Amino acid sequence: MKNVITAIAIFAMMLGVQSMAKAQNNSDSKAKIVVKPSQLNLNVDETAQLESFVQDANGNATQDTVYFYSRASKSVSISKNGEGHQVKALKPGSFELIAYAESPSGDRLRAPVKVEVAYPPITNIAFRDMPSKVYTMTSTPIKYKVTDAKGLARKNADVNLASSKPSIASVDDYGQLQAHKPGTTTISATAEQAKTVWQLKVTENPVTALELTSESQEGRTGHVFNFNATPKNSAGNTVDGAPVEYSFIAKPDDDLGEGTSGQIQQNGRFVASKPGLYKIVAKSGSAVAEKTIRVNARDVQKNIKMVGHGLVSDVHTSDLWIWEGVDGGDYAITGTWGGNGEAYFWDVSDPANMTIIDTVTVDARTVNDVKISEDGRIGVITREGASDRKNGIVILDVSDPHNVSVISEYTKGLTGGVHNSFIYQDHVFAVNNGRRYDIIDISDPKNPETVSRFELDTPGHSVHDVWVENGIAYSSNWDDGVVAVDVGSTPNAQSPERHDTGAGSFDNPVKLGSYTYPSGWNHAAFPFKSQSTGDFYVVAGDEAFPNGLHIENQPTEPAGWIHFVKFEDGWDSPKEVARYQVPEAGTHNFWIKDDTLYVAYYNAGLRVVDISGELMGNLYEQGREIAKFVPTHHKGKIPNAPMSWGPQPYKGYIFVSDWNSGLWAFKIQEPSQGTN
């Protein structure tokens, strides 16, 4: 079985992998991991064998049980191969593998292995979407694609751009074509031995005026203004194909170090982060048009009140789920992390006095995920670290939350551990060993049955989470990003307009589309149909620990943000349009309801964010944050350390599980309610 783990390790694997990263220089034994060779130099698709063992202070090999994971699993893969490990180079660049082991004396050891993968020679360069004619006094960005001998796109290639007649049109140091006077010229692009040319004609610019319009001239911070500049000739006719450049001049209401005041795109979309006056400027050749708009403060901030807290201090708390029981009461279930396999059941009917009413204990170290069926009768908890290594899921009867019982344990094909799950129409989607998700029929909860599985075929692929709405499963796949899979969709208002429903089913999952982003940190996903605009998004959340986890003498510092991915033209054309990024903090789980985003932002606590209207830019800078609360407790598992795990809005309250301090309940205070 391949021993490959993603670069950004799943949080619930800290005890197994990341905790191995504790510094070994505090060890009295001075044991160390030896890897031969200690550095690899490979070509793309080339493989190499690694030998590894633990060596004691006297230089003796004490064991050969060493594990590896890749910090860039889609670029360099590593797998068990006989007595050693085989490394395969998938993409060019500089990478690092991590060897980890536990010495006979119990010391946690690690050793880095540098991998240098040579870039293949460039074999092709091609201009993309470039016009054959441009107008004088305009600027045009030059677009091209560079491909190497392995068919890989080379974004970091050193490309030389030149004009055969610079007096007619020249190219600046940043790849911008400047058209000066009428005539013809040849633009060449050269990269290593590859070369291509573009024949260009420059004609006299007929534009003498611009007509600049917008749908409004006043709005709030975060509001997206759409400007349209129409080029006109001396006869007043529209000039087709004339490029227009947009810019703006800001005059914020305060002058206290303005910061980022706004941004504008070259399609005329503008958003302001600060209140004030903004002059939008459009230019085409010598023609210029201006329009001034007013931007007011968004003014959505509200007070948040801590209503109740259920302290859990002897073990870390993982995920939560809140539901209305069959008896009409309100209940919660929380999991435990790195403990004894417990799931706690709470009565939260009075959020100010939340109490544990039952505990279910299973064979596991971690009960990471907890879910309750829509009818409030069936619960599913996931298992990791079982003593018999069977793991899998446990199906519970929760019709009486005061007396929860185990209906069945299901481990078939799930022995590697289930990190996350989702219940949808009598089926459980179980994330299996971080590689795929299994779809399990639980219509007879005593006799569950796997009906299908979905797994990507990309190198080093992995999956962390899955969420299902309207027959579409949205999985979070780290380097492979968000993947949408049809498992039985039907026509509804939540899906992208151009989605052909009914492509897949529970026993025949069909991939619809996906979206990846460069960091590879995709940890969670949530489909979102804006109530205010009708726009459809898949909202993707990161999880990252750039400095590692449980590193001795170093604090845990999460990173990452929330990505808003818009599907304007169906599943084939996703586009990331906005983000919500809190500085020096990192996201975990989140929830969206009624154009409001609820984020458990790890060390930055709970954040409640207004996501109404068209979205563009960094929402954090636009005054969209409604409220926040950073939960800590002096008697927490780690005292006074916030580590918010998951939120859920429910019946006017916001419930949050915190890794260090248990279950919390909050309520947003409307202005008339005051702060009491």
Beginning with the edge strand found earlier in the chain, give each strand of the sheet holding 378-382 in spatial order: 370-372, 378-382, 393-397, 405-410
- Better pLDDT: 77 or 172: 172
Last residue of a domain, one of 203, 231, 265: 203
Q: Is residue 1 part of a domain?
A: no
- Better pLDDT: 14 or 353: 353
pLDDT band with cut points at 50, 70 and 90 for residue 24? very low
Tell me the mean pLDDT in the region 554-558.
Answer: 78
**Beta-bridge partners for 349:** none
Smallest CA-to-CA distance from 55 within 46, 67, 64 is with: 64
- Please tell me the least confidently modeled range out of 152-166, 282-296, 546-560: 546-560
Last residue of a domain, one of 276, 296, 316: 296
Question: Do 407 and 396 meet the contact criterion of CB atoms below 8 Å apart?
Answer: yes
* Alpha carbons 130 and 340: distance in angstroms, whole number: 62
Q: DSSP readout, 125-190? A: EEE-S--SEEETT-EEE--EEEEETTS-B-TT---EEEES-TTTEEE-TTSEEEE-SSEEEEEEEE
Q: Is the model's pLDDT at 1 over the cut of 50?
A: no
Smallest CA-to-CA distance from 31 within 53, 9, 47 is with: 53
Q: 474-490: per-residue pLDDT in tens?
A: 999 999 999 999 999 87
Mean of pLDDT over the chain: 90
Smallest CA-to-CA distance from 549 within 607, 602, 606 is with: 602
pLDDT score recorded for residue 480: 93
pLDDT score recorded for residue 538: 96
Position 47, amino acid: T
Tell me the mean pLDDT in the region 563-571.
Answer: 87
Q: Is the model's pLDDT at 114 over the cut of 50?
A: yes
Tell me the mean pLDDT in the region 267-296.
Answer: 96
Q: 502-531: per-residue pLDDT in tens?
A: 789 999 999 999 999 999 999 999 999 999
Tell me the mean pLDDT in the region 369-384.
Answer: 97
580 and 632 part of one domain: yes
482 and 549 part of one domain: yes
349 and 433 part of one domain: yes
Q: 313-331: per-residue pLDDT in tens?
A: 999 999 999 999 999 999 9
Non-local (6+) Cβ contacts of 294 within 8 A are 217, 218, 219, 277, 278
* Alpha carbons 521 and 479: distance in angstroms, whole number: 7
- What CATH number did the domain enclosing 570 receive? 2.130.10.10
400 and 539 part of one domain: yes
Cis amide leading into 37 (omega within 30): yes
Q: How far is CA 524 from CA 10, 370, 421, 518, 558, in A?
A: 11, 15, 12, 16, 15
- What CATH number did the domain enclosing 153 receive? 2.60.40.1080
Q: Is the model's pLDDT at 87 over the cut of 80?
A: yes
pLDDT band with cut points at 50, 70 and 90 for residue 494? low
Q: Is the model's pLDDT at 381 over the cut of 80?
A: yes
Question: To 5 degrees, how large is the angle CA 4–CA 5–CA 9?
Answer: 175
Last residue of a domain, one of 248, 268, 296: 296
283 and 323 part of one domain: no
Strand, coil or helix: what is 13?
A: helix
Non-local (6+) Cβ contacts of 104 within 8 A are 31, 54, 56, 62, 63
Smallest CA-to-CA distance from 284 within 134, 506, 496, 494 is with: 134
User: Residue 92's domain spans which residues?
Assistant: 11-117
238 and 364 part of one domain: no
pLDDT band with cut points at 50, 70 and 90 for residue 556? confident
Chain CA centroid to CA 170, Å: 40
633 and 597 part of one domain: yes
Q: What are phi and psi of 12, to 5 degrees?
A: -75, 5
Q: Is the model's pLDDT at 419 over the cut of 60?
A: yes
Position 625, amino acid: E
pLDDT band with cut points at 50, 70 and 90 for residue 453? very high
Q: Is the model's pLDDT at 55 over the cut of 80?
A: yes
181 and 213 part of one domain: no
Q: Is the model's pLDDT at 151 over the cut of 50?
A: yes
Q: Is residue 53 part of a domain?
A: yes
Tell me the mean pLDDT in the region 279-301.
Answer: 96
pLDDT score recorded for residue 277: 95
pLDDT band with cut points at 50, 70 and 90 for residue 23? very low
Number of domains in the chain: 4
pLDDT score recorded for residue 101: 87
pLDDT score recorded for residue 673: 56
Strand, coil or helix: what is 445?
A: coil
**Beta-bridge partners for 176:** 141
Q: Is the model's pLDDT at 56 over the cut of 90?
A: no
- Better pLDDT: 499 or 487: 487
370 and 500 part of one domain: yes
630 and 576 part of one domain: yes
Residue bearing tokens 């009565």:
347
Q: Is residue 22 part of a domain?
A: yes
Q: DSSP readout, 608-667? A: EEE--S---EEGGGGT-EEEEE----TTSSSTT---EEEEEEETTEEEEEETTTEEEEEE
Strand, coil or helix: what is 592?
A: strand
Q: Which two tokens stand for residue 168?
A: 């007619």
pLDDT score recorded for residue 461: 87
Smallest CA-to-CA distance from 621 within 580, 560, 585 is with: 580
38 and 173 part of one domain: no
pLDDT score recorded for residue 496: 62
Strand, coil or helix: what is 389?
A: coil
pLDDT band with cut points at 50, 70 and 90 for residue 498? low
Q: Is the model's pLDDT at 500 over the cut of 80?
A: no
Tell me the mean pLDDT in the region 64-80.
Answer: 84
80 and 137 part of one domain: no
